[in-house]
Structure 1
Amino acid sequence: MYISASSSTSAADGAPGLRPGRRAGLLRTVPANVVALGAVSMVTDVSSEMVSAVLPLYLVLQLGLSPLAFGMFDSLYSGATVLVRLVGGHLADRRQRRKLVAGIGYGLSAVCKLGLLAAGSSVGALGAVVAADRAGKGLRTAPRDALISLSTPPQALGLAFGVHRAMDTVGAFIGPLAAFAVLAATGTAYDAVFVVSFCVAALGVVLLVSLVRDRQDPPPDRREPALRAAFGLLRAAAFRRTCVLTAALGLVTVSDSFIYLLLQRRLGIAPEYFPLLPLGTTGAYLLLAVPLGRMADRTGRFRMFLGGHVALLGAYAMLLGPAGGLFVLIPALLLHGVFYAATDGVLMAAAGPMLPAGLRTSGMALLQTGQAGARVVSSIILGAAWTAWGPRTGLAVMATGLAVCLLVARFGFPTDDARTDDTDSSGGTEAPDDRAPGTASPNARAYDEETIA
């Protein structure tokens, strides 16, 4: 169902309401299911970012972790999602219960907020709780993105993902402010932050159960997709290139924590203001996610994805350049926000039409797993280079690698209308596609004639 009350048939055929229209508001052009998922993500991100904003202070200042121990903890925080993304995607496709699998992920993360209270000052217990929390995130991400993709006509995927990511980013903006408000009101009682975070996360689960509609579309032969079918998607040259190039770019993507730490060291920012640095990135992301998503629908999603990495390279250049003060701080944070706005949802919007509906969750999970795993390795690479040669040289190495990867990816990514059903189930080559660039594939929301196995 669409908020504009247009039928799914008319939306898919001509989608006049899906154009950036003067007659309807933005939300009237987006499927109701996408708006509901955006509301769930927004509330959940308030909860998650409340914890993320205070966790470094809690671990280092209150529990006294060393920088090395905190670095290992941060790597665990970033890498735990990698191990369960494929599991979540496979379960969602095999049982055709995407909402249920996403709900389990949201529920697990919510319970883990109380787990932080139970863990007390035990670093080992805290590590286990954080790993479980991130596992919940990994479990829910692919089913959620598949629901967005399956609920949206192909020609509006960039806009739909942009709206979802913008709503998600509202939560990411509110979360740190809410955390510090709770700390200010309670005299730096971290336990109070964890309790409030749990309550907010529980509200997100309630919204998911009550507002989000599942998409259950069993394949025509009624066979349950096997896990090897997800890896079989890699036989399609277009999707395989997308996974490889996305992982390569992930290897030279500096993590948020390192970006903010480089800014802090470069500009001498006082520690008490350090937690406010993410708000600059989040603000730019919030303002640009929808406009860039719309632009990606018109100009090409992979082109926008590469443009986002050009913005990231610009942020590296600002950190390496001779300027100082606000002339570094503001442009670097803005470019960092542009990077996220142009890449986060846009990649899933580009990948969605490439994947058969029966394996869309698994395919997205496969793509996300490669990207997330590469970014974990990226943090290790930068950390090693920083230790060996210093932060400036380490960042220069990453910037050089990013420039090289951009040149390769410029000619390697497929066109936006490439689909895995151009590869037959026996691993044949892609059939030629005579459609004009940017034209949606026929039957883009239906299952393929064959299940890739």
Structure 2
Amino acid sequence: MFALGAVSLVTDISSEMVTAVLPLYLTLFLGLSPLQFGLLDGLSFGVTALVRLAGGNLADRWQRRKLIAGIGYGLSALCKPALPAAGGSVAALSAVIAVDRTGKGLRTAPRDALISLSVPAGKLGQAFGVHRAMDTVGALLGPLVAFAVLTGTGGAYDAVFVVSFCVAALGVLLLVMYVRDRRTPLSAPRPATSPRAALGLLRDAAFRRVCVVAAVLGLVTVGDAFVYLLLQRRGGIDAVYFPLLSIGTAAVYLLLAVPVGRLADRLGRVPVFLAGHAALIVAYLVLLGPGWLVAVLILHGTFYAATDGVLMAVAGPMLPEHLRTSGLALLQTGQATARLLSSVLFGAVWTAWGSTQGLAVMAAGLAACVPGAWFVMRRYL
């Protein structure tokens, strides 16, 4: 768990360096409209949705979760220097982002499966909290490194992408050297694994309800990049400071990930998961009103601390070990597909009627869905 946390920490420094500057790089430097940016942002979720199931099934079938995760980390690392090479071509940028998201889609479920197989079921919330806390240290440092590189190079985005690649390569090396795989012993019978067997997990009512709730809530969640663009535009923040906005979210996430994970283990993972979405509704309302930057970032970080690892802790014990990766990939696929539609919808509404109307639609949708999610999942408290 700690070795995987170290890999995620280093990898997140790399990925958050790019994530912190990419919205402004695309909308300000390359001149993309909110709708075009929404399509690219949605593409990042859509591609992960397509490959998560395949990666999860291969990891379970071959019992090589570390290998599949390593391929995913490697693909994402190779894409970093390709971003500036794409120039202003939307098609080329789409291709690079698609490959990068393919890497993320391959690695996420095997990584989470390795964590869930490394600790007792009663401590899953804490385990995922520790991992997400280490991951978030990287998310905290990444924007700072990007800001330092931009400041030191006079705003050279290319330099950010090159440094990001070097850091990502270090993450792959740590995975290869220090992370142990988790396999079924050769002497033990291995139940059949296949895409059909993975989809068959949806016959379990509890797991099916979790998947549906995660997808519906994802559909009415505004992407992080849009949240930061709204904060930057409403607050009149200079473009050079844009990478620092995500630090607020990451810092709160870092502080709360472990205690919220422990709280979820003691009081119930479903109530904590839904409380995180309630915090997100409040963040949208604040952004619609005075738009207090600190309040929005605190609430945004609280949302992630209460939902990201907690959802995996909810679903993990519902899944058999031999299909653990496939099941988590199925859950994440539904979320990613919903986030794709969410990004395109929000970008379209922003382009047609304005950002305020778009945010109001998403806030209203989330406020309507959270009580419904409670009704659906309350039996699993």
1:369 aligns with 2:333: yes
Aligned-CA RMSD value:
2.0
Q: Distance in 2 between matches of 1:152 and 1:415?
A: 25
Distance verdict in 2 for CA 1:117–1:403, change over 3 Å: closer
The equivalent of 2:264 in structure 1 is 296
What residue ranges of structure 2 are gaps of 5+ in the alignment?
Answer: none
| TM-score, length of structure 1 as denominator length | 0.79
Letter in 2 for 1:93: D
Give the direction of change, closer, same or farther, for the CA distance of 1:155–1:376 in structure 2 (3 Å limit). Answer: same
Query: 1:19 — aligned with what?
Result: none
Q: Quick check: 202-211 or 260-269, which moved more?
A: 260-269
Bigger radius of gyration among the two: 1
Where do residues 63-212 of structure 1 align in structure 2 (5 Å cutoff)?
63-212=30-179
Contact 1:182/1:193 (8 A) holds in 2: yes
CA contact (8 A) 1:241 1:414 kept: no
Question: Following TM superposition, where does structure 1 have runs of at least 4 consecutive aligned residues deviating by more than 6 angstroms?
Answer: none
Contact 2:13–2:138 (CA<8 Å) still a contact in 1? yes
Q: Secondary structure at the match of 1:222?
A: coil
Aligned partner of residue 214 in structure 1, secondary structure: coil
With normalisation by structure 2, the TM-score equals 0.94
Residue 315 (structure 2) aligned to one of 351, 357, 362:
351
CA contact (8 A) 1:302 1:413 kept: yes
Matched, 1:390 2:357: no
Q: CA deviation at 1:121?
A: 4.9
Q: Mean Cα displacement is larger for which, 117-126 or 90-99?
A: 117-126
Structure-2 residue corresponding to 1:408:
372
Structure 1 stretch displaced more, 286-295 or 385-394: 385-394
Identity of aligned residues (%): 69
Q: Which amino acid in the other structure matches residue 223 of structure 2?
A: S
CA distance in 2, matches of 1:67, 1:312: 22
Aligned counterparts of 1:296 and 1:105: Cα–Cα separation in 2: 30
Match of 2:194 among 223, 226, 231: 226
Instruction: Name 2:302's counterpart in structure 1.
Output: 338
Shift in Å, 1:188: 2.8
Task: Judge which range, 293-302 or 72-81, deviates more.
Answer: 72-81
Q: Which residue of 237, 241, 256 corresponds with 2:209?
A: 241
8 Å Cα contact 2:39-2:343 kept in structure 1: no
Tell me whether 202-211 or 68-77 shows the greater mean CA deviation: 68-77
Deviation string 1:263-314 (CA, Å, 9 cap, x unpaired) is: 3343333333333221111111111111100110100111110110111111
Q: Aligned partners of 2:108, 2:169: CA distance in 1, in Å?
A: 17
Equivalent residue, structure 2, for 1:275: 243
Report the CA distance between 1:415 and its aligned residue. Answer: 5.1
- The equivalent residue for 1:54 is 21
- State how far apart, in whole Å, the 2-side matches of 1:392 and 1:116 are: 31
Residue deviations 1:312-359, cap 9 Å, x none? 1111221233xx36xx22111111110000000000011110100000
2:345 is equivalent to residue 381 of structure 1: yes
Q: Which amino acid aligns with 1:199?
A: C
Corresponding position: 1:316 with 2:284: yes
Is the contact made by 2:222 and 2:343 (CA closer than 8 Å) also made in structure 1?
A: yes
For 1:403-442, list aligned pairs within 5 A.
Answer: 403-413=367-377
Could you tell me how far apart the structure 2 residues matched to 1:263 and 1:195 are?
27
2:264 partner amino acid = A
Give the Cα–Cα distance (whole angstroms) in 2 for the partners of residues 214 and 334 of structure 1: 36
Q: Which residue matches 1:445?
A: none
